[in-house]
Chains A and B, each alone.
Chain A
Amino acid sequence: MTKRIYVDNAATTKVAPEVVEAMLPYFTEDYGNPSSIYNEGRTAKKAVENAREKVACAIGADPKEIYFTGSGSEADNWAIRSVARAYKDKGNHIITSAVEHHAILHTCQDLEKQGYEVTYLPVDEYGMVSAEDVKNAIKDNTILISIMFANNEIGTIMPIAEIGKIAKEAGVLFHTDAVQAVGNVPIDVKAMNIDMLSLTAHKFHGPKGSGALYVRSGVKLTSFITGGAQERMRRAGTENVPGIVGLGKAIEMATADIEAKQKKLTEIRDTYIKKVLERVPYSRLNGHPTQRLAGNANISFEFIEGEGLLLSLDMKGISASSGSACTSGSLDPSHVLLAIGLKHEQAHGSLRTSFGEDNTLEEVDYMVDSIAEIVDRLRQMSPLYEEMMKKN
């Protein structure tokens, strides 16, 4: 098999050719600094503002509510740290969930060291945050609710509109990390009462190193990087013009027909899930069966460790991801899988596949065959499997 099967689109995606084409002139022709007043500068400035309009349009925001950043993690950091600082006279309590991305969790932990109080809401067995729990966690000193739009590991889509309504009624700011959701789920920040939203281009066929933070007009935003007038004095540094242009083009394309994309990916995802669960005993789906990102499947295989599975899949030309600790550079398994109630050994043996529009049902068949064969091989050398077989 010479062609590789890439099923790790939640990690990053291939940049669309149209996006590359849109970016190219801004490297060698229209390379001016947007802050310069002469022709090249004005051209670059125009391109940045054009991209800002596209990002705003994609999520139902106003262009002046969009701030460009260097990544989704930066947008997350900025949102949380800014609210903590700008609203500290109002209170010091933040509500988030146990399954957030580390860009949120580690930022909250950092704020705890600075005297802030953080509530990490638990999730149900599907990884879902309960809107009711959010409501009950709000106190007089609550200044921010930050709940992710969709989970990066298990794909569970949170009740964002419900939480937005609750936050609005309580007069508490609501931020959502929508890095995995943009381009995969329709988003309207006004209708959903979202005050702040993080996104990044490379999750929807845009370039890496180009993200954005939406901040509703009227929400105080402290400057994140000082030293220049860029991004309305909030984030100094010469704009990444090609990256911003790429983000604009990518988000325009990704949000043009979400329904068609969802339909295609859901079919691939559900076929894959059904076939794997049928073929491989002692496997289970993690995350919600239907309220999940169209391209995301996360399956745990008991008695094996995920890294061996990933290495073996790689040798068969398949690129996927795992909740295994061994693949993440740390030794702890996924906090998301532990939060939905998996035992450590189950969390170690999980496989995340995130499909994209390039994937096909034929690829799914090859993947299922490969997975079944590899899982069986690894189980044959697993003392946990041996133990279980002897017991039964």
Chain B
Amino acid sequence: MYSEKVMDHFSNPRNVGEIEDANAVGQVGNPQCGDIMKIYMKINDDTQVIEDVKFKTFGCGAAIATSSMATELVKGKTVDEALALTNQAVAEALDGLPPIKMHCSNLAEEAVHAAIANYYESRGMDASEIKACTGECCGCPHSKEHNKE
């Protein structure tokens, strides 16, 4: 059901961990839906380059693989380049995801956005333009049902 690339990134995820002196941290998803992704970045204030990035993810194989791939795709890129990262790009880089797992790639895109929004806010910049998840809706098509409960 998963591509070889997904299995590779699930079995040997890149950039797992925390960054102690991170200046951008974002967390999206919620445990009810079974997916949480937390992302840490070290952004160079002068060049705006994401010099280091790490993640931790609670979720299925696809969630872990998309987290790993998304961190690979934004590492060494500028903040603006990272903001242009789409969930389709993450999924394509993994040679595709099963339809029911596409929300996992949303999670990765939103986590990147959430971390950068956190970085903007900590520097007194306007982050409203960045679509960041509140942690209630992310990538989970069932969250409306859960919220009703």
Chain A positions near chain B (C-beta within 8 angstroms): 303-305, 307-308, 311-312, 315, 324-327, 329, 331-333, 343-345, 348, 380-386
A383-B56 contact in complex given A311-B10, A331-B100, A331-B142, C-beta closer than 8 Å: yes
User: Which residue of A303, A327, A331, A383 is within 8 Å of B140 (Cβ)?
Assistant: A331
Residues of A contacting B64 in the complex (Cβ-Cβ under 8 angstroms): 308, 381
> Interface majority SS on B: helix, strand, loop or mixed?
mixed
Q: Do A380 and B16 touch across chains, with their CB atoms under 8 A apart?
A: yes
> Interface majority SS on A: helix, strand, loop or mixed?
helix
- Nearest first, the 7 closest Cβ-Cβ pairs linking A and B are A326-B60, A345-B31, A307-B60, A383-B38, A344-B32, A348-B34, A383-B56
Q: Do B38 and A331 touch across chains, with their CB atoms under 8 A apart?
A: no
A–B Cβ pairs within 8 angstroms, 11 of them:
A303-B58, A305-B59, A311-B10, A324-B34, A344-B34, A345-B31, A345-B58, A383-B36, A383-B57, A383-B58, A385-B58
B33 within 8 A of A: yes
Given contacts A312-B11, A324-B34, A381-B13, 15 further A-B contacts (CB under 8 A): A305-B58, A305-B59, A305-B63, A308-B59, A311-B7, A311-B10, A311-B61, A326-B59, A331-B142, A344-B33, A380-B16, A381-B57, A383-B57, A383-B58, A384-B58
A381–B55 CA distance with the chains assembled, in angstroms: 8
Residues of B contacting A307 in the complex (Cβ-Cβ under 8 angstroms): 60-61
A49–B31 CA distance with the chains assembled, in angstroms: 53
Q: From A310, which residue of chain B is reached at the shortest CB distance?
A: B61
Distance in Å from the Cβ of B141 to the closest Cβ of chain A?
A: 6
**Hey, what's the 0/1 contact readout for B127-145 against A, CB within 8 Å counting as 1?**
0000000000000111000
User: Which residue of A324, A332, A343 is within 8 Å of B60 (Cβ)?
Assistant: A324
Give chain B's interface residue range (CB within 8 Å of chain A). Answer: 20 to 34
Interface centre among A304, A315, A325 (most CB of B within 10 A): A325
A131–B59 CA distance with the chains assembled, in angstroms: 38
B94 within 8 A of A: no
User: Which residue of A345, A385, A386 is within 8 Å of B34 (Cβ)?
Assistant: A345
Q: Do A382 and B57 touch across chains, with their CB atoms under 8 A apart?
A: yes
User: Which residue of B2, B7, B16, B34 is within 8 Å of A333 (Cβ)?
Assistant: B34
Residues of A contacting B34 in the complex (Cβ-Cβ under 8 angstroms): 305, 324-326, 331, 333, 344-345, 348
Distance in Å from the Cβ of B10 to the closest Cβ of chain A?
A: 6
Q: From A333, which residue of chain B is reached at the shortest CB distance?
A: B34
